[in-house]
A and B are shown apart, each in its own frame.
Chain A
Amino acid sequence: MGALLLCLLVCLPLTFILYESSKPSTEAWQQLSQVDPGGILEELDLKEEIPEHSRLYLKTKNTLLLLCSVVALSAMAGIALAWVVSRWHFPLRKSMSVCLVLPLTIPSYILAASYKLLTIDTKNSLAVWVRTNWGQDVMSTFDELWNFTLATFVLTAAFFPYVYLAARTAFSNLSTSYLESSQSLGLSSSQTFLKVALPLARPAIIGGLMLVSLETLNEFGAMKILGIDTLTTEIFYAWTNLEDKNAAIRLAGCIMLILLVLLIAEQWLSGGKRFHASRNTSSSPTLKKIPKFKSALVTLSCLTILFLAFILPVGQLINLAVDGLEKDSISRFLPLVANSLWLAANSSVLILFASVFLAYACRKIPHWSMVTLSKVSTLGYAIPGAILGICTIAVIGFIKNNTSGGNLLDYLYYGSSYGLVLAYLVRFLAVGLPPIDAGLKQINRNLDEASQCLGHGFLSTFFRLHLPLLKLSLSAGAIMLFIDILKELPLTLILNPSNHETLATKTYSLFAVEERYTTGAIPALILILAGIMGLCAVRYISRNK
């Protein structure tokens, strides 16, 4: 019953998208989806004013182009780095193996703000040069191209660690005997990589690429800062500028269609290819010795990527924060820290509770229906935060109009942060569930039966056996949730009560709206620091495991 409720909670926004899309389209939607809404320009005989493409077409094109470029670049960087780190011997390999995950601690909107500032002088000089030599039109194209390239770079730098982590685990777990037998059959190192290692790691890599795709589609803050219009930013435009719920939800429907295609592609690409490659018997794989020149080149490449994706932007933020602290006291940000901690802690506890409940239900009732309910409940992560936020408000509006519980709903969603906590539950259940599920799966079912035979019932077995054994998985899950919730922007922007700003919303508003970079660098660094501490804690826990 509880699993069904969680599943319904996730399905509600999706159902609402379908419901709203089935209604007649509004004027705002026509403005977005047609080149000449109502045929006014044609009627006024201003055919030359009619744009070649609709706003919707342009934003969809931008979204898809960005998605393809970020996914392709993240795949290249993530796979290549994972392969060298897990299979080659080179100076600083161990440190690189850990440090290349660090870019995950910088929220993409902070990275975007940092790079915007770092490149603004170069961009302006080049823009002046382009305008002087080729005119205004070419300069506009240059401006668009620059922003798009920068956005692709920023998102790749922020999200490639997802692919890197997935591929690194897959490559490290690959039995050396596969690679050795391939080479003994006459294949070169690169052929072995392409024909043996890559196909075996494919399901994991596709999983990582799927995460990159979801994050790219979810991206709002970085796009606003860099001036790129995508379907997600268009949702905010329809919601805040056009004040049209129907148009915003229809746009959400377009993103969900892209997501559906991606999910089908993921199933198709990895569904039948879940290999069970036997692991190397030794605790770490045999590392290949490479020539000195090559190993120096590999170290340099890793360092360059780490420098661009982490050291340079963090260095820039520290520099800004030092200036910022001269004007602002850090105590000004303490209420924000308190708000963020309160939200992240409460939400993490609720999500962990739901995750334990779902994972335990699947263990106790291993029926296909329960497994399906559990899988559907984690689909919330695939719904971009902006869509989830708007759908939540739309659903509340719908319930308020049709029931008498309006005051309570108003309090839940506008007067307090409880509504946001519930929305986080829908979105982040997919982050909390896997570590708990994996932890429970590691507990031999014979232990449950032994406990039963020794006279212990369901609750006693849970508290005395499962909970102590799940301690590390719960801690890892809690930390991951905590970091993700601290960083989450679009959902928090939409659902957070106005008097309850968080570190993420304040950083975004200081960077993107007020353009006060020195002041914004302070909460930004606090967020990054929290992320680094979280990563260290997860690493410590994994080692202890």
Chain B
Amino acid sequence: MTDHSLELKNVSKKIGHLTILGGVNLKLDTGKIGVLAGESGSGKTTIIRIIAGLESPNDGEVIICGKESATISAKGRNVGLVFQDYALFPHLTVTQNIAFGLRKASNNEKQQRVDSLLNLLNLMDIAKRFPHQLSGGQQQRVAIARALAPRPAIILFDEPFSNLDSIQKRKLREQIKTLIKETKSTALIVTHDIDDAMRLADEIFIIQHGKVVQSGTPKELRLSPTNSYVAELVSHGHLDRS
């Protein structure tokens, strides 16, 4: 039996008469990095919002660690989400932001977990700063640490590199990859940059018009694209044509 952390079965989402997702199927194994790649408006963010429990699908199943989760609220789903704009709480310091999700832990446990994440993400020096005192890259790392703190079953990243310059982006891409592998987490990353997808992913899911049109390893996609759209994407690099 395959050990899937995440499985979406025929997930669909409609807003009024507009179909956002038209039966998305997706499987991601534990410890792997999956990347949802597609153009703006293709439905990538809706998929991760449904996985996080922030939106409900009209139809289909969301299975997290073998448990059907469509009816579980975001609060009880144990899924970490790193927002595109980081969504750091402005009135809390870096330490307090990271500890925010450790509600049930004792003070001692909290302290240990926060310290280990501060060390892991190289945030020790800025632990007492507030979000507005941090650079974009530092904010990104705090957001990742905060999402990782409660040890989520899956960690979701919504366009994690969109607000960073190319040098910061390259550095952080490597950091995220190492971190996910080190912590043996399962991650699903949304991006419109095929270059990011090819460098980060164990498995890429190409989304077009609310459907997964092809999935596979970066190599598989490069060598045997199933249609001209995927072929053009993987050869030209950038997906966002908007």
Which residues from chain A sit less than 8 Å from chain B, CB to CB? Answer: 444, 446-447, 449-457, 460, 464-465, 468-469
Task: Give 17 pairs: A residue, B residue, CB < 8 Å, sorted on A.
Answer: A444-B85, A447-B87, A447-B89, A449-B52, A450-B81, A450-B83, A450-B87, A451-B100, A453-B77, A453-B81, A454-B100, A454-B146, A454-B149, A455-B150, A456-B75, A464-B100, A469-B90
CB-CB contacts below 8 Å: B52-81 with A: 52-54, 73-81
Q: Does the CB pair B89–A453 fall under 8 Å? A: no
| A449–B101 alpha-carbon span in the complex (Å) | 12
Q: How far is the CB of B157 from chain A (nearest CB, A)?
A: 12
| A138–B207 alpha-carbon span in the complex (Å) | 87
Interface residue? B236 (CB, 8 A): no
| A332–B52 alpha-carbon span in the complex (Å) | 64
Contacts of B149 in A (CB 8 A): 454
Q: How far is the CB of A459 from chain B (nearest CB, A)?
A: 11
Q: Does the CB pair A455–B83 fall under 8 Å? A: no
Q: A449-B54, A449-B74 are in contact. Are A454 and B87 (CB under 8 A)?
A: no
Interface residue? B91 (CB, 8 A): yes
Type the 1/0 row for B133-170, where 1 means its CB is closer than 8 Å to any CB of A: 00000000000001101100000000000000000000
| A453–B85 alpha-carbon span in the complex (Å) | 15
Q: Does the CB pair B54–A452 fall under 8 Å? A: yes
Interface of B is mostly: loop
Add 6 more A-B contacts to A452-B75, A455-B78, A455-B103 (CB < 8 A): A449-B81, A450-B87, A454-B100, A454-B150, A455-B104, A456-B100
Question: Which residue from chain A places its CB closest to the CB of B54 in the assembled complex?
Answer: A449
Question: Which residue from chain A places its CB closest to the CB of B90 in the assembled complex?
Answer: A469
| A444–B83 alpha-carbon span in the complex (Å) | 11
Minimum-distance CB pairs A-B, first 4: A454-B101, A446-B87, A452-B74, A450-B87
Q: How far is the CB of A232 from chain B (nearest CB, A)?
A: 45
Contacts of A453 in B (CB 8 A): 52-54, 74, 77, 79-81, 101, 147
Question: Which residue from chain A places its CB closest to the CB of B55 in the assembled complex?
Answer: A449
Question: Which residue from chain A places its CB closest to the CB of B146 in the assembled complex?
Answer: A454
| A532–B146 alpha-carbon span in the complex (Å) | 44
Contacts of A468 in B (CB 8 A): 91
| A451–B101 alpha-carbon span in the complex (Å) | 8
Give how many A-B residue pairs fall within 8 Å (CB-CB).
61
Q: Does the CB pair B75–A457 fall under 8 Å? A: yes
Q: How far is the CB of A255 from chain B (nearest CB, A)?
A: 43
| A447–B81 alpha-carbon span in the complex (Å) | 11
Question: Which residue from chain A places its CB closest to the CB of B104 in the assembled complex?
Answer: A455
Q: A452-B73, A454-B100 are in contact. Are A444 and B87 (CB under 8 A)?
A: yes
| A2–B150 alpha-carbon span in the complex (Å) | 36
Which residues from chain B sit less than 8 Å from chain A, CB to CB? Answer: 52-54, 73-81, 83, 85, 87, 89-91, 100-101, 103-104, 146-147, 149-150
Contacts of B85 in A (CB 8 A): 444, 446
Q: Does the CB pair A455–B75 fall under 8 Å? A: yes
Q: Does the CB pair A449–B83 fall under 8 Å? A: yes
Contacts of A444 in B (CB 8 A): 85, 87
| A451–B102 alpha-carbon span in the complex (Å) | 11
Question: Which residue from chain B places its CB closest to the CB of A460 in the assembled complex?
Answer: B103
Contacts of A454 in B (CB 8 A): 80, 100-101, 103, 146-147, 149-150
Contacts of B100 in A (CB 8 A): 451, 454, 456, 464
Q: How far is the CB of A450 from chain B (nearest CB, A)?
A: 4
Contacts of B74 in A (CB 8 A): 449, 452-453
Contacts of B101 in A (CB 8 A): 453-456
Q: How far is the CB of B229 from chain A (nearest CB, A)?
A: 31
Q: Does the CB pair A456–B103 fall under 8 Å? A: yes
Question: Which residue from chain B places its CB closest to the CB of A452 in the assembled complex?
Answer: B74
Q: How far is the CB of A28 from chain B (nearest CB, A)?
A: 57
Question: Which residue from chain A places its CB closest to the CB of B83 in the assembled complex?
Answer: A446
Q: How far is the CB of A366 from chain B (nearest CB, A)?
A: 14
Q: How far is the CB of B104 from chain A (nearest CB, A)?
A: 8
| A454–B147 alpha-carbon span in the complex (Å) | 7
| A464–B101 alpha-carbon span in the complex (Å) | 11
Q: Does the CB pair B76–A449 fall under 8 Å? A: no
Question: Which residue from chain B places its CB closest to the CB of A453 in the assembled complex?
Answer: B81
| A444–B86 alpha-carbon span in the complex (Å) | 11
Contacts of B147 in A (CB 8 A): 453-454
Q: Does the CB pair B89–A455 fall under 8 Å? A: no
| A446–B54 alpha-carbon span in the complex (Å) | 10
| A356–B100 alpha-carbon span in the complex (Å) | 23
Question: Which residue from chain A places its CB closest to the CB of B74 in the assembled complex?
Answer: A452
B75, B77, B79, B85 — most chain A CB neighbours (10 Å) = B75
| A173–B110 alpha-carbon span in the complex (Å) | 45
| A153–B180 alpha-carbon span in the complex (Å) | 72
Question: Which residue from chain A places its CB closest to the CB of B79 in the assembled complex?
Answer: A453
B74, B85, B147, B150 — most chain A CB neighbours (10 Å) = B74
Contacts of A456 in B (CB 8 A): 75, 100-101, 103
| A468–B93 alpha-carbon span in the complex (Å) | 13
| A446–B147 alpha-carbon span in the complex (Å) | 13
Contacts of B91 in A (CB 8 A): 468-469
| A455–B53 alpha-carbon span in the complex (Å) | 11
Q: How far is the CB of B113 from chain A (nearest CB, A)?
A: 13
| A456–B53 alpha-carbon span in the complex (Å) | 13
| A464–B102 alpha-carbon span in the complex (Å) | 13
B54, B78, B104 — most chain A CB neighbours (10 Å) = B54
| A465–B53 alpha-carbon span in the complex (Å) | 20
Contacts of A449 in B (CB 8 A): 52, 54, 74, 81, 83, 87
Q: How far is the CB of A308 from chain B (nearest CB, A)?
A: 44
Q: A449-B54, A450-B81 are in contact. Are A455 and B76 (CB under 8 A)?
A: yes
| A410–B76 alpha-carbon span in the complex (Å) | 50
Contacts of B89 in A (CB 8 A): 447, 450-451, 465
Question: Which residue from chain A places its CB closest to the CB of B158 in the assembled complex?
Answer: A446
Contacts of A465 in B (CB 8 A): 89
Q: How far is the CB of A266 from chain B (nearest CB, A)?
A: 32
| A452–B75 alpha-carbon span in the complex (Å) | 5
| A444–B103 alpha-carbon span in the complex (Å) | 22
Q: How far is the CB of A474 from chain B (nearest CB, A)?
A: 14
Question: Which residue from chain A places its CB closest to the CB of B149 in the assembled complex?
Answer: A454
Q: How far is the CB of A130 from chain B (nearest CB, A)?
A: 66
A453, A457, A464, A468 — most chain B CB neighbours (10 Å) = A453
| A456–B87 alpha-carbon span in the complex (Å) | 15
| A457–B78 alpha-carbon span in the complex (Å) | 13
Contacts of B103 in A (CB 8 A): 454-456, 460
Question: Which residue from chain A places its CB closest to the CB of B84 in the assembled complex?
Answer: A446
Q: How far is the CB of A22 from chain B (nearest CB, A)?
A: 43
